[in-house]
Amino acid sequence: IPSSRFGAVSFMRVRPQEIEDYGSYEYFTGMTGANPRWSKNHKHSQPIVPGPVGELSVIWNDYLGRWIMTYLNEEKKRIEIRESREPWGPWSSALELVSGREYPGLYGAFLHPDLNSGRGRVLYYTMSLWAPYNVFVMRSEIQKR
């Protein structure tokens, strides 16, 4: 995502041993049939999730057998969650994970694979609040559709 909380999500990849070599990064540019396309030029990247997206977090979830993504939707004042079979998508429609009506000033729901139980059926994640300015551990139970 670009700086701020209003951009779309793009996807890039790099080999771990080349993480410090900016020229080694490849950017997702779309699909040709079932195959993803890649480019070395970030200007060719195609968003995988529309904005507004802030404080993005993505992990693999064994319970769903899918990738899950959480982020702040500043316009709707909520933390949203999506799922996908592949990290480049297609991603599901956004669902509300945490409401700003219940937690005013929320942001940054960050996932960690070690903070789950039931193979990922129960998610634990950190979420920040402006008032009181602090980080909280949250818990959500997910269900397969």
Do residues 58 and 110 make contact, with C-beta atoms less than 8 angstroms apart?
Answer: no
pTM of the model: 0.91
Would the CA dihedral through 72, 37, 27, 42 be positive or negative?
negative
Per-residue pLDDT of the chain (145 residues; tens, 9 = 90+): 766 778 899 999 999 999 999 999 999 999 999 999 999 999 999 999 999 999 999 999 999 999 999 999 999 999 999 999 999 999 999 999 999 999 999 998 899 888 888 889 999 999 999 988 999 999 999 988 7
Do residues 12 and 45 make contact, with C-beta atoms less than 8 angstroms apart?
Answer: yes
Whole-Å CA distances, 1 to 5, 112, 113? 8, 19, 21
Q: How many Cβ atoms from other residues are within 10 Å of residue 2's Cβ?
A: 11
